[in-house]
């Protein structure tokens, strides 16, 4: 079977870029991305796309109206498609059984029911969303229990591995494409049909074909391994700060072992984003449901260290500012969960801001890509504050980094935007209250230059002394605080 028409349900961070790249690489395939959210679809059809991704605008503009369409007409797109991606959100459940851990599959289920209701003929239904193992069985069940006499389905798992900020390059040149399906002849034919779409631009040996459950579990496993690396290096950053080791040097020395590799070893204020926490929690919940408590506890620690790191960074700021930030102005540089995206879902900056606001700090926040309203909404969310009015009084969103820093006691770098490295730090220093503190939660600033200007500099994973300040590595006068003297 040859796929000629694709429908993608869910025009989000995955559905939008993935289908734009498919349309770009396969001009013979008609790709329609649909969503219930009218505003989102309007934005995809406008000059201001709903998400920021380097290179995406060009690709959308190249194919939109030719073989790439964004629409709210879900039924028509389902009816005419040969292959349907389900690319809707699968957030952590906020209610009922598994609250706070299990994935909420209500959107996936609603798509399956909708497809069963309107589809006619044969369709390949592809689970693109990240789901717990055996979710495809539920989708198959819903489809087969509601199938009309004139329709039939094959369900595949094809998880997405793109990272935000690099989505277009990840999609154009993926490390691998993973497709899982049934071992039956029909299942293998469906895998082949989807594989033929990707093979228009991805080398065949990069397309991995597995059974459905391996594919579903591999996605959770990949995210868990990546998150675990960050928690591992962040746990090392705490040891570095207490001993005089430098986490950048440790990461380099460890990562040079080809068995370990040098990627994903950047110490930080903790991982954010819509995937890592959700998917690790999902894995933990799965292990508990499978009566594997030791395995569940093992993965839960990845989350615990991440929470610890966020809290630790905020505590360092409070501790260094003489144990009180009440009424003090602090500039937060960066609010997105990583650079090159405007996405703030589960951004560690939110938690750092929360801990500082809990202590009565006034925050001036600047991010080059996150709109003002989004920052305020995040910080007024009920999980962050029980008094949104009070939170509103404590937040000011600045239009540029200089305004954010002027009059502040301290700067906290929360996102690794490249532009922060090139700021005029002398100008910033002159505009701040003294002593002027910098807390570099991403390890990206020119630290020696800042020290020379007169800043008190604190860097994640570098030794601190005398009130928590970084001492340059060349110093031969490193004093370990008595509580941290090594055994
Ligand atoms: P998103 O929230 O950005 O987009 C999901 C979209 O689905 C929303 O626009 C929503 O309106 C729409 N939707 C929900 N139910 C619908 C329905 N019944 N009919 C039509 N539209 C519906 O989510 P996302 O970030 O694109 O993530 C989608 C899935 O991909 C999740 O399972 C996620 O875990 C996974 N994933 C995300 C990333 C990422 O970087 N964001 C990477 C890999 C995998
Ligand atoms: C992640 C996975 O990388 C991707 O494969 C999956 O499809 C979706 O989830 P994403 O969350 O978009 O992608 O970004 P990623 O680059 O993985 O960063 C996640 C978080 O970890 C960010 O907050 C980032 O700043 C942080 N991070 C990453 C570190 O703190 N240190 C690192 O070394 C790498």
Q: Dihedrals φ, ψ of 342, to 5°? A: -100, 10
Tell me: domain 5-202, CATH 3.10.20.30, correct?
A: no
Nearest-angstrom CA–CA distance, 201 and 192: 15
pTM of the predicted model as reported, rounded to 2 decimal places: 0.94
Extents of the domains making up the chain? 5-202, 209-487
Q: Is 234 in the pocket of ligand 2 (CB under 6 A)?
A: no
Say whether 276 counts as a known binding-site residue: yes
**What's the rounded Cα separation, in Å, for the pair 120 and 273?**
37
pLDDT of residue 481: 36
List the one residue out of 449, 483, 445 whose CA is nearest residue 464. 483
Residues 6+ apart with CB under 8 A from 211: 180, 181, 182, 183
Nearest CA to ligand 1 atom 30: 129
Task: Please report the pLDDT score of residue 469 as a whole number.
Answer: 61
Q: Is 385 annotated as a binding residue?
A: no
The kind and range of the H/E element at 122 are strand 121-127
For residue 446, the model assigns a pLDDT of 97
Closest residue to atom 37 of ligand 1, CA basis: 14
Counting Cα atoms < 13 Å in the Cβ hemisphere of 446 gives 14
pLDDT of residue 465: 56
Expressed in angstroms and rounded, the spacing between residue 155 Cα and the centre of ligand 2 is 28
Would the CB of 9 count as within 6 Å of ligand 1? yes
Predicted local distance difference test score (pLDDT) of residue 158: 98
Following CA atoms 454, 456, 461, 464 in sequence, which dihedral angle do they give, to the nearest 10 degrees?
120
Tokens, residue 377: 């909404």
Enumerate residue ranges in the chain where pLDDT < 70.
464-487
Beta bridge partners of 396: 364
Tell me what the pLDDT averaged over the chain comes to: 94
Does residue 345's CB lie within 6 angstroms of at least one atom of ligand 1?
no
Taking the C-alpha atoms of residue 394 and residue 170, their distance in angstroms, rounded to an integer, is 39
Rounded distance between C-alpha atoms, residue 302 and residue 359, angstroms: 27
What is the DSSP secondary structure assignment for residue 29, as one 8-state letter?
S
Res 440: pLDDT: 98
pLDDT tens digit string along 154-165? 999 999 999 999
C-alpha span between 13 and 15 (Å, rounded)? 6
The CATH architecture that domain 209-487 belongs to is: 3-Layer(aba) Sandwich (3.40)
Report how far ligand 2's centroid is from the alpha carbon of 404 (Å). Answer: 26
- Say yes or no: CB of residue 14 within 6 Å of ligand 1: yes
Instruction: Give me the pLDDT at residue 480, please.
Output: 34
- pLDDT computed for residue 463 by the predictor: 80
User: Omega into 435 within 30° of 0, i.e. cis?
Assistant: yes
* Residue pLDDT, tens place only, 25-47: 999 999 999 999 999 999 999 99
Beta strands in 395-484 (DSSP E): 395-397, 410-413, 437-440, 456-459, 464-465, 469-470
Output the DSSP codes for 217-241. Answer: HHHHHHHHHHHHHHHHHHHHHHHHH
């Amino acid at each position: 079977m040859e796929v000629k028409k694709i429908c993608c349900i869910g025009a989000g961070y995955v559905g939008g870029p993935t289908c734009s790249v498919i349309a770009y690489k396969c001009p013979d395939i008609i790709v329609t991305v649909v969503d219930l959210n009218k505003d989102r679809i309007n934005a995809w059809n406008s000059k201001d796309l709903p998400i920021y991704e380097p290179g995406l605008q060009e690709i959308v503009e190249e194919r939109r109206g030719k073989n790439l369409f964004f629409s709210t007409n879900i039924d028509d797109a389902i009816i005419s498609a040969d292959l349907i991606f389900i690319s809707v959100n699968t957030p952590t459940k906020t209610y009922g059984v598994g609250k706070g851990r299990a994935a909420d599959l209500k959107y996936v289920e609603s798509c399956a029911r909708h497809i069963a209701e309107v589809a006619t003929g044969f369709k390949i239904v592809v689970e693109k969303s990240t789901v717990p193992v055996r979710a495809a069985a539920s989708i198959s069940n819903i489809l087969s229990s509601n199938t009309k006499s004139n329709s039939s389905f094959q369900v595949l798992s094809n998880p997405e591995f793109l990272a935000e900020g690099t989505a277009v390059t990840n999609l154009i040149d993926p490390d691998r494409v993973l497709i899982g399906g049934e071992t039956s002849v029909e299942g293998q034919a469906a895998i082949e049909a989807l594989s033929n779409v990707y093979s228009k631009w991805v080398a065949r040996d990069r397309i991995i074909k597995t059974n459905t459950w391996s594919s579903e579990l591999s996605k959770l496993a990949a995210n868990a391994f990546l998150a675990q690396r960050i928690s591992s290096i962040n746990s090392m950053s705490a040891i570095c700060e207490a001993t005089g080791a430098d986490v950048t040097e440790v990461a380099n020395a460890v990562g040079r072992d080809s068995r370990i590799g040098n990627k994903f070893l950047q110490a930080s204020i903790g991982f954010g984003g819509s995937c890592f926490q959700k998917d690790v929690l999902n894995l933990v919940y799965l292990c508990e449901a499978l009566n594997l408590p030791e395995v569940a506890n093992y993965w839960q620690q990845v989350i615990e260290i991440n929470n610890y790191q966020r809290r630790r960074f905020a505590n360092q700021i409070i501790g260094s500012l003489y144990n009180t930030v009440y009424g003090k102005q602090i500039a937060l540089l960066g609010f997105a969960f990583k650079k090159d995206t405007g996405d703030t879902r589960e951004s560690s900056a939110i938690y750092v801001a929360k801990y500082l606001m809990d202590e009565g700090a006034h925050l001036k926040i600047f991010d080059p890509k996150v709109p003002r309203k989004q920052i305020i909404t995040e910080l007024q969310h009920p999980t962050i504050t029980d008094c949104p009015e009070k939170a509103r009084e404590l937040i000011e969103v600045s239009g540029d980094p200089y305004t954010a820093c002027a009059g502040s006691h301290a700067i906290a770098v929360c996102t690794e935007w490249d532009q922060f490295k090139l700021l005029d730090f002398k100008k910033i220093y002159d505009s701040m209250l003294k002593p002027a503190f910098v807390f570099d939660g991403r390890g990206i600033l020119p630290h020696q230059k800042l020290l020379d200007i007169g800043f008190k500099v604190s860097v994640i994973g570098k030794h601190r002394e005398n009130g928590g300040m970084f001492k340059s590595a060349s110093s031969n006068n490193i004093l370990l605080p008595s509580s941290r003297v090594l055994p």
